[in-house]
Amino acid sequence: QVQLVESGGGLVQTGGSLRLSCAASGRTLSSYSMGWFRQAPGKEREFVAAVSWSGVTTDYAESLKGRFTISRDNAKNMVYLQMNSLKPEDTAVYYCAADPRRLRIGTRSGDYTYWGQGTQVTVSS
């Protein structure tokens, strides 16, 4: 199995940028498709972005396309989420997740087996 630890969250003003990182340990990251999800207070966890094991294929929540970019570096066992033009509605806890079905990328929480503890992102207006 794999252990995931997110970092890079924090407080940023509207229009700012943040880069979230997800460090994996245990099994090699190339064994997994990876995803980012977020959960705002009082709301359900929602899909943000996903990337295939090779990094070739990506998918994004429709509302986030053009602002968020997911990437991975299997040699470093890292996954990243670059977030630009941040808005107050992006405020949430962001989670990194791993899916052992490495040939597919999922958009549902249930598609993912392993989760990190989350990192808080707060966008001030």
Q: What is the pLDDT of residues 4-29, one digit of tens each?
A: 999 999 999 999 999 999 999 998 88
Helix H or strand E encompassing 43: none
Average pLDDT estimate for 39-50: 97
Name 123's bridge partners: 12
- Work out the number of other CB atoms within 10 angstroms of the CB of residue 1: 9
The pLDDT value given to residue 104: 87
Distance from chain centroid for Cα 9: 11
For residue 124, pLDDT over 90 is answered with yes
What average pLDDT does the chain have? 96
Q: Sort residue 119 into left (φ over 0), alpha (ψ -120 to 50) or beta.
A: beta
The C-alpha atoms of residue 23 and residue 63 are separated, in whole angstroms, by 26
Please provide residue 30's backbone torsions phi and psi, each rounded to the nearest 5 degrees.
-65, -5
